[in-house]
Structure 1
């Protein structure tokens, strides 16, 4: 299918309307190179994010394979979002994609490698557990108007939700409501963790809102669950330097928090990264809608994107 045919089919969808943002598609003005320990495997990986052509979107390159940052390649995995293609896996992509989506980097190639050249699986570094390292790197290198392979600029389009949409699982849900702007309301509830409890955060998104209020919020975990997760092969690289850790009896083990509701804000960071997987080549991924999430997670986020894409998901009627 040609790009024009794909666009026409998207335009005719009853659920989503693609509208102009009044801007041209963007890419990086130069390359970003960062390396660090990963959360789940504990290995070190290197990432190089390079400028991309307009209309080609965001792609990962691993072991000479190109894997689009698209919901079509997202697979179920515990505690992170994983992209898979032809037997190759890239894990924990959500923080990087969240930063790229929020900063308006529509097109780029993300080259990633582990220290073991034979690995068929790799993970994006965790850094301090937030998206700050990516945001700072993007701001340092800057961005520019992306051109296609013929040297033309392309208009950036955004998806607008035309009717309410929801997915649910037990007492967790995500609802999308039509809106003229991007707005997110997020709630979490940890009744057995008094230091976390029930938290809500809601805001529309201005140009600098993400950097000031979302990007620096860190991933969090429950101390009493750490050994169980490690025995399951997870969070091998986790530490008090790359996550905030809460105990049911002792509260936060590595204060201070950056915000009193930092866990809730981090859920928004993850949500933005996961919903960026709706992006069509060079277009905005996060829909112009009011997204309301309660007790959400990566799996539920992915199901919401699948519903946006017209894929039926069990339990989301």
Structure 2
């Protein structure tokens, strides 16, 4: 049985067919080490990304615990994507995963630690609020063909959407439509903001030219509410763009006129990468249409793709 046939036999619905990309799985050609302040806790954390074995995918390592970057370990959390296992949590993984997915780093080990060795929860650094630091680090170290533990390479598969599907929460929704290429349409409803964005390209070009430089955006009236809830302790005008309904952008200029939509695409790629299996591509080959989407809705879509009722 071929690898694609094996994948298709595992799925619990007819939504997805796994097909070869004509490429071999990749990993990093060296190690990446970055440290920085985190968005929600405001603490400093250190991340080391190492090459991984073919077929093993992307895995986080925290306090000697291995947590796969999989929807099976994703949990609801405000304003970020969190992975949990055995009482340990890793927050705000979406920007790093977005860069790894788009740059084709299919297999790697992501070691992360905080300055407090007793912490059971840690967060990926926020840097400037975009994924540019991760993209630059990946491009600097480069990538290479991944080999499994027996020294063999492995083909890379991609999930193709076979039929339309949708997920929704209140007035927010994501629709997936069958397509021969990756296409992303994003819409938001935010004061003083260009509300729509479209990209039609492979993941790498979409991410590098449209999404990776886009910073987090927030509504000014929400800032104090989030801080009162114990969030965004590390947030600042250096790592987010802030908008007022009456005054517009409080810290211009924007990098792009549609930067908030571009950041939604950045998050979408990172969250949907949680569908990846055994070094495969996680983001489905489909036309994904998102309106007022967020991390929870993105996770709902991945669960639907995985045959999990939501």
* 1:289 equivalenced with 2:286 (yes/no): yes
1:5 CA displacement: 9.0
- 1:222-261 mapped onto 2 (5 Å cutoff): 222-261=219-258
Tell me, yes or no, if structure 1 residue 273 matches structure 2 residue 270: yes
TM-score (norm 2): 0.96
* Partner Cα distance (1:205, 1:91) in 2: 29
SS in 2 for 1:189: coil
Q: How many residues align structurally?
A: 307
Query: Partner residue of 2:33?
Result: 33
2:78 equivalent to 1:82: no
Cross-structure match for 1:151: 151
| Aligned residue in 1 for 2:195 | 199
Q: Distance in 1 between matches of 2:85 and 2:6?
A: 22
- RMSD of equivalent CA atoms: 1.4
Judge which range, 281-290 or 205-214, deviates more.
205-214
Shift of 1:135: 0.2
- Give the deviation of 1:11 after TM superposition: 6.5
Question: Is the CA contact (8 Å cut-off) linking 2:50 and 2:110 kept in structure 1?
Answer: yes
For residues 5 and 245 of structure 2, the distance between their equivalents in structure 1, rounded to whole angstroms, comes to 54
Kindly state the Cα deviation for residue 281 of structure 1 after the two structures are TM-superposed: 1.1
Counterpart for residue 301 of structure 1? 298
Report Cα offsets for 1:214-248 as digits up to 9, x if no partner.
Answer: 10000011111111100100000000011011112
The partner residue of 1:217 within 207, 214, 219 is 214
The answer for unaligned runs of 5 or more in structure 2 is: none
**5+ residue gaps, structure 1:** none
SS of aligned partner of 1:302: helix
Structure 2 matches for 1:111-150, cutoff 5 A? 111-150=111-150
2:181 corresponding residue in structure 1: 181
Q: 1:164 and 1:250 mapped to 2: Cα distance?
A: 40
Partner of 1:46: 46
- CA change 1:172–1:12 in 2 (3 A) is closer
Contact 1:10 1:18 in 2 (8 A): no
Distance (whole Å) between structure 2 residues aligned to residue 123 and residue 12 of structure 1: 33
Deviation per residue, 1:164-222 (Å, 9 max, x gap): 010011111000000011110000012xx2x22x5111111234332121100000111
Give the aligned partner of residue 312 of structure 1: 309
> For residues 170 and 11 of structure 1, what CA distance do their matches in structure 2 show?
28
Contact 2:54-2:148 within 8 A present in 1 as well: yes
Name the counterpart of 1:109. Answer: 109
Q: Any conservation in 1 of the 2:12–2:307 contact (CA below 8 Å)?
A: no
- Provide the rounded CA distance (Å) in 1 between the counterparts of 2:34 and 2:178: 38
Single out whichever of 109-118 and 7-16 deviates more from structure 2.
7-16
CA shift digits 1:16-70 (9 cap, x unpaired):
1000000000000000000000000000000000000000000000000000000
Give the distance between the partners of 1:4 and 1:65, measured in 2 at CA: 30
- Who is 1:96 aligned against? 96
CA distance in 1, matches of 2:114, 2:5: 38
